[in-house]
Structure formats: structure tokens, C-alpha cells
């Protein structure tokens, strides 16, 4: 999930986003019953970005997914 938050200075000019992307380190695992460390694994290379699945470090279940869009403006070579 790509999230942007624009901040304004006192003069009203726009600055760079305070954050751009998040990487999960722990997610809740229903099988383990608690928040567990996750390991991202590359699933697909798509034109819009690389798709990763987050796997539980304890049991290996898929707990989530993310599309990493990379650097904007850079051409993707596949």
C-alpha cells in the first residue's frame, strides 16, 4: 500500500511526503494466534511493480501482500 502525506510549511509551500511506503515486519497470524515476524517473498514481476507475499516466520502461511512500485519515472526492464 502506497501512502503519501503532504506537509505544509508556514508559508504554505508544499514539501516532500513525510513517508512513501511501509514494509511489514510483524503481522497477526491466525494459525499461530499472535503477531509474528514475516518474510517477504517475491511472487510476480508485473508492469506496475513487483508483487510480494508476506509469509509467517513460524508456520509459513501467507499473511498479506504488497506491490512495490519502485522508483517513479524509472523504466522497468522485464
The answer to whether residues 67 and 55 touch, using CB atoms and an 8 Å cutoff, is: no
Q: Minimal CA–CA distance to 52: which of 67, 70, 35, 62?
A: 67
Question: In terms of pTM, does the model score above 0.85?
Answer: no
Cell, residue 33? 494466534
Domain boundaries, the chain: 26-68
Cβ-count burial 51-69 (b if 16+ within 10 Å, e if not): ebbbbbeeeeeebeebeee
pLDDT digits (tens, 9 = 90+) for 6-54: 556 566 667 776 677 788 999 999 999 999 999 999 999 999 899 999 9
Amino acid at each position: 500500500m502506497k501512502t503519501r502525506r503532504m506537509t505544509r510549511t508556514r508559508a504554505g509551500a508544499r514539501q516532500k511526503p513525510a513517508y512513501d511506503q511501509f514494509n511489514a515486519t510483524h503481522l497477526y497470524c491466525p494459525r499461530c494466534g499472535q503477531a509474528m515476524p514475516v518474510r517477504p517473498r517475491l511472487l510476480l514481476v508485473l508492469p506496475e511493480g513487483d508483487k510480494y507475499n508476506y509469509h509467517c516466520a513460524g508456520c509459513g502461511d501467507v499473511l498479506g501482500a504488497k506491490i512495490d512500485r519502485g522508483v517513479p519515472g524509472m523504466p522497468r526492464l522485464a
